[in-house]
Structures are given as C-alpha cells and as structure tokens.
Structure 1
Amino acid sequence: MKNIQLFWFKFSHYYPWVRWLLVLAGVVAVYTWALSGLQVDFALLKDSYPYIVDFISRLFPPNLEVVDIAIKALIETVQMSLWGTTIGAIISLPIAIASSRNIAPQWLRWLANFLQNIVRSVPSIVLGLLFVAATGLGAPAGMLALSIYTIGYLAKFYQEAIEAVNPRSLESLRVIGASPIQIAQYGILPQILPLGLGYTLWMFEYNIRAASVLGVVGAGGIGFQLKSYIDGFEYTKATTMMLVLLVVVTVIDVISSHLRHKLESMS
C-alpha cells in the first residue's frame, strides 16, 4: 500500500496534469450521470418552441387597470417579508450560537445542527400549506411560513460567521472567567454584527420573492393575486403583477446591496 502511495506521489509530482485530467473526467462522469437521469428529450424541446411563444404572447400588453391592486398586494408582501425575516433572524441567533463548534459543546451542536437540517429540509410551499391550515388564508400564514423558512438559512449563515471569529479574543475572555453569555456578548457579537446584518438584508430581499411563491397556496401577498389571475386565464393582469414585483425587487436589491457593502466595509 505504501509503495502504491509513493508511486502515485512521485507520478503526480512529475505529471501534475494527470491529476487535473482525472478530476475533469470525474466531473464529466457526474454530469453525464445526472443528465441521463433527467431523460431530457431535446427533440421535444425543439418542437415546443411555438407553444412557448404563444404563452408569452398572451402575457402582453400588461393590463394597467390592476396597478392599484398590485401595489396593495405588494405592500402586504413586503410587510410579510419584513416581519418574517425579523422573527426568523431573532430565533436564528441562539440556534447559530448553539451550533458553533468554537462555543457550544458537542451534544448541543449536534442537536442544533439537526434542528437546522429539519427546517431546511421542509420546502417553503409546505410551510405555507401548514400555516394556512393553522391560521387560514392570508398574510399571517405567509409571515409565519417565512419566519420558519428564514431560520433554516440565517442560522447557518450566522453559524459560519461565528465560527470565523478570531479565536484569540474568545480565549482571552475564557481566561478571565467570562461566562458563555458574556463571551457571546463581548467576543462574538461585535465581530459578526456587520456580516450578520448583511446576511439578514440579503434574506429580507430573498423573502420578497419567496413570499410571492407562498401566495400560490393562499398565504397572502402578491403571489395570491398572481395565481388568481393565472387560474382565471387573465394573463395580462398577471403580467402587471410581475412587472410591479420586478420594479420593487430591483429597488430593494439596489438599496440592500448598498447597505451590505457599507456593512462589509465596517467589518
């Protein structure tokens, strides 16, 4: 075994291109396997082009008579996203601390990471259905679904930020007898705050889009109106909804990106 390892070490040292060739062959093999499982019919895709053009043509011109409805629904979507992101962020922080290997004991890390995996494994659409069943149709169901959905991602983002904290500062606090809460308060939060706020802004921006999907199951917001128009074959009204959503998402993206860059410069 040692002889084989030694041979491979010398061979890869003198012929490094062989290693990269093997990596490339492995990547090609994986993608070929994935494509074969999809069973894509390229001939069918080619023949479906006229149907795609026909569907897109039905979306135009936008029906501007429903702009006021679109704006009202969009405001509800932003409200859902704002509260959902805030609640999710607050709950995510202690879970992230409990998941971090540089703070929490192993048994607590295992439980916290398992909780994160459970939350991330549940699709947002299922969360929407769950809370629609619990609270009925409307924005409250969407807000609660976004709160849980946010935990699955922000907890992981916060955990990564915490684990990247300078270990010397934490060790200094431990030496002087600081408690775990004091370590989190004085050693971790000041270092991760700019990065954590940046992640939270990104999640808020993402939740605007996710909220529009949750509307499909009756969880309020612009997605509910969008689905209603599509179900009624009122495609031009649906286009108006999508255009209003596009404008607002673009504006929020520009603002949040600017804020994230400022926060990153502070870290």
Structure 2
Amino acid sequence: MKDLKYFWHRAAWLKHLLIGAGVVLLYGWALQGLKIDLELLKTSVPYVADFVSRMFPPDWSVLDLAGKALVETVQMSLWGTTIGAILSVPIAVLSARNLAPRWLRLLANLLQNLVRSVPSIVLGLLFVAATGLGAPAGTLALSIYTIGYLAKFYQAAIESVDGRSLEALEVSGASWLQVAQYGILPQILPLSLGYTFYMFEYNIRAASVLGVVGAGGIGFELISYIRGFEYPKATTMMLVLLVVVTAIDALSSHLRRRLEADNGNFD
C-alpha cells in the first residue's frame, strides 16, 4: 500500500494526464451527441443576417409602451424575488447539515430539487391557468422559481459558518434562537443579501421569458411583436430591457461589494 502511494506521488504527471484524457473524452462524447452539421451552419448565415437586418432600425414609437411594460416586469421581479427569498429561509435552515437532522435534510433537499427541476416556462403556464394572463401569474411563477435557487444558496451560506463560534455560544448557554441571531446571521447576511440581489437581477430577465406564455411584463409585448413580424418594435423592447438590466446589474454589483466591505453592517 505504501509503495502504491509512493508511486502515485512520484507519478503525479500520470494522474494529470489521465484526468486530461478523461476531460477530452467527455467533451468529445458531448460534441458527438450534438450532431452539428457544419454545412448547414454555413448555408444558414444569410438567413440569420436577413433576420437581424429586419430588426433595425428600432421603432421608437413604442417606447412609451415599452416603459410601462418594463415597470410591470420590475414589479413582478421585485415581488417574486421577495416572496421567494422569504420562503427560502426555512427550507435552507432545514437543508443545512450543521443545523438539521439527516432525515429532515433529505426531505428539504428533495423539495429544493423538485422545484429546480420544473422549468420557469412550465411554472408560468401553471399559474396562467390558475390566475389568467397577466402579472399575477408571472409573479407567482418567479416566486417558486426563486425558491429553487435561493434556498440552495442560503443553505451553502449557512453550512459555511464557522462552527467554533456556534459551539462557543452553545457552551455559554445560548438558546437555539440566540445561536441563530448572534452566531449564524452576522456571518451569512452579506453573502445571502448578495445572492438575493443577484436573483432579483436574474428575475428581470426570467420575467421577460415568462411573457412568452402570457405572464405579463415586457416579455408579453416582445413576443407579441415577434409573432406579428413587427421586428423593429421588438428591437425597441429588447434595447429598453438591455438598458435596465445593465443598470440593475451595476447597482446590484455595487451593493454586493458594499455588503462585503461592511461585512453586513450598514452605515
């Protein structure tokens, strides 16, 4: 056994070579499954160029409608992210290996996996059937969609907490609630808020996709113009969405850096 360990220690290059070969084989297998037709790609370039050319110049006559639809999209994302974040907290706590028993963790993680396995479009269709076309369906779909990811992010943050600080609180006689308040929350707050800001930013884009199934927002107007072959108006919608997503990305990045610098303590 010692000789075998010594051999692998001396032949580290061989281990790296085997790993590299495995990675190459994995990507080769995946590429083969794609069945890419290079000749078809060459002949499709003119069609792509023609489609793009019909989208310009943008039709600014729908700018007012784009602004109103965008406001609805932001409102959907704000409420969807907030509801999803609130519901994610107990699921994350029950999923964390340093807080919950094994059987409870299995159930909570199964719930997370179940939510993440349902595409956002399917959630949109489900709530459109329940509440009808419009923003309420999109908000509910985003709420459930958010749970699947924020619960996992929050769980990872909780599991990264320094266990020694929790043990010190427990030894001093702190209750479970006090351990959570003084030992866990200060450590996970900056990271968790950063995740939440990122999810809000992502939900702006997800809300636009949900418009395809009639869940309100700018996506609903966008897909309506595309289906009606009014590509210049669709371009205006996409440009307005691009500006807002870029602005929100810059703002959320600034807030995340601020949280990390302040370690969760606001001025």
- TM-score with structure 1 setting the length: 0.96
Residue 22 (1) aligns with residue 14 (2): no
Residue 212 (1) aligns with residue 208 (2): yes
Per-residue displacement from partner, 1:79-138 (whole Å, max 9, x unpaired)? Answer: 000000000000001110110011111111111111100000000000000000000000
Residue of structure 1 equivalent to 2:54: 58
Among candidates 119, 127, 131, match of residue 127 of structure 2 = 131
Q: Distance in 1 between matches of 2:178 and 2:125?
A: 40
Among candidates 113, 137, 141, match of residue 141 of structure 1 = 137
Q: Distance in 1 between matches of 2:10 and 2:111?
A: 47
Q: Distance in 2 between matches of 1:98 and 1:68?
A: 46
Residue 200 (1) aligns with residue 196 (2): yes
Q: Distance in 2 between matches of 1:162 and 1:238?
A: 43
Q: Secondary structure of the equivalent of 1:104?
A: coil
Residue 264 (1) aligns with residue 260 (2): yes
Among candidates 149, 160, 167, match of residue 163 of structure 2 = 167
Q: Secondary structure of the equivalent of 1:109?
A: helix
Greater shift after overlay, 164-173 or 209-218? 164-173
Shift of residue 18 of structure 1?
A: 1.2
Q: Distance in 2 between matches of 1:116 and 1:94?
A: 12
Residue 71 (1) aligns with residue 67 (2): yes
Greater shift after overlay, 249-258 or 187-196? 187-196
Shift of residue 43 of structure 1?
A: 1.4
Write the letter of the residue equivalent to 2:230. Answer: E
Q: Distance in 2 between matches of 1:182 and 1:121?
A: 35
Moved over 3 A (4+): 176-179
Per-residue displacement from partner, 1:14-38 (whole Å, max 9, x unpaired)? Answer: 2321111111100000001111111
Aligned length: 263
Q: Distance in 2 between matches of 1:215 and 1:97?
A: 33
Shift of residue 229 of structure 1?
A: 0.1
Please give the root-mean-square deviation of Cα atoms over the aligned residues, in Å.
Answer: 1.2
Q: Distance in 2 between matches of 1:132 and 1:112?
A: 27
Q: Secondary structure of the equivalent of 1:48?
A: helix
Q: Give identity over the alignment, percent.
A: 73
Q: Distance in 2 between matches of 1:97 and 1:66?
A: 46
Among candidates 150, 155, 158, match of residue 151 of structure 2 = 155
Q: Distance in 2 between matches of 1:266 and 1:6?
A: 51
Q: Distance in 2 between matches of 1:179 and 1:95?
A: 21
Where does the alignment leave 5 or more consecutive residues of structure 2 unmatched?
Answer: none
Q: Secondary structure of the equivalent of 2:57?
A: coil
Residue 183 (1) aligns with residue 157 (2): no
Q: Distance in 2 between matches of 1:218 and 1:110?
A: 35
